[in-house]
Structure 1
Amino acid sequence: MEHLTLVRALRRLEQAAGLQLPEVEQLAASVQLLQLREREFAFHEGDACPRLFAVRTGLLKQFYTTADGKEWIKSFTVEDELFACPIGFQPGGRTSFGAAALEASVLEVIDWRLLDDLGERHLAWQKAIRFGFQALTQLKMVRERDLLMYSPEQMYQHLLERRAGLVQRVPQKELAAYLGVTPVGLNRIARRLE
């Protein structure tokens, strides 16, 4: 059970929030594996997808697509990280963005409704879910601040400082889309910072 990425994330959450989560073993038994080839989708924009994903191996991007087909990447996820589309958790909810593998990936998938049910029955799970959404809110606030306050060059510099390994793994075209520049523009930024 402890070999599951999702369970390790739950154990970290327990430590950070000072909680003891009941029924983790039962939840772990419901984890399904999803293997994705490079460029294969975990979900598409507009899908009904009430699932939480944990990255066991690989690299994924989460992104919005404009009407003319241009992608705006909102985030990347790698090993030991989680992602989901919270709007998809709501009854009848549809995802507002897509998620696709940038390299062959293995994901652990759990139905959100199982977590929601645990939250209905256990105060510790209610707190854990709240703590998880607070962490997600913090990530979104940092991304929003970066987009509003920093130039692409400053965002690239911050990314190098915080997630240098990610910069090495992400294809240049995808990294440029994350920063809101062209691949040529990213080349110029990288050369200036060398």
Structure 2
Amino acid sequence: MHTLLRKHLEELIELTDAEFEYIASHFQLKRFKKHAILIQPGELVTHEYFVLKGLLKTSATDDDGKEHILQFSMENWWVSDYQAFMTGGRATSTTQCLEDVELLYLSARDRHKLCAEIHKFEHFSRLKVTSGFLHLQRRVMALLSNDAQSRYRQLLEQYPSLFQRVPKSLIAAYIGVSRETLSRLHV
């Protein structure tokens, strides 16, 4: 399982065996069953998670009880309530397992420690945060400026395997339409 983490890290940085072993020693393995809640609103968020296996969704519920899906997280993705994780605050979103999952988790304290001690890990973290910000910005712009069919096509092109793993109701919530509207889209 640490082999997957090493492969992921080395997509962006080169590590010696000693550097990787030191980094890996700060991660712990955790397994969750389908439907388990990883993060709940109001909780302190002290960890970020690297997905080895499985699929999760991160969502927020508005005052009317409508669920808004912020992100799906699958293999080789990182997930947390990053606002809470980075500030030491409380979660405003829910992260739930859509499948049985295996995760490696890293505490905020260990993340800061690794970034301070290993420049390569700090560089990796900065690149990942930047990439996440760019994806989020593209998603927000798509929600603001693209019609539902365009958002559906974009999701299908970017993540075709997601459509085999996620119910249509969740796809609809992710692109910001009702289940009925999604069924009328011609793709």
TM-score of the aligned structures, taking structure 2 as reference length? 0.89
| Partner in structure 2 of residue 176 of structure 1 | 172
What residue number does 1:10 align with? 9
1:53 maps to 2:52: no
Count of equivalent residues? 186
SS of 2:56's partner is: strand
Q: Which runs of 5+ in 2 are unaligned?
A: none
Matched to 1:105, the amino acid is V
Counterparts of residues 12-91 of structure 1 (less than 5 Å): 12-14=11-13, 20=15, 23-90=19-86
Map 1:89-108 → 2, pairs under 5 A? 89-90=85-86, 92-108=88-104
1:110 matched to which residue of 2? 106
Aligned residue among 117, 129, 135 for 2:131? 135
The gaps in structure 1 that reach 5 residues or longer are none
Contact 1:38/1:103 (8 A) holds in 2: yes
SS of alignment partner, residue 80 of structure 1: coil
Instruction: Note the aligned Cα RMSD (angstroms).
Output: 1.9
Distance in 2 (CA, whole Å) between partners of 1:122 and 1:174 is: 39
**Secondary structure, counterpart of 1:13 in structure 2:** coil
Q: Check whether the contact 1:27–1:114 (CA below 8 A) recurs between aligned residues.
A: no
Q: 1:23 to 1:89 in 2, by over 3 A?
A: farther
Contact 1:159 1:167 in 2 (8 A): no
TM-score by length of 1: 0.86
Task: Give the superposition deviation at 1:7.
Answer: 2.8
- The 1:74–1:90 alpha-carbon spacing in structure 2 relative to 1, beyond 3 Å, is closer
Alpha-carbon deviations, 1:37-88, whole Å to 9, x = none?
2211111122211212111111111111112321100111111221222222
Moved over 4 A (4+): 19-22
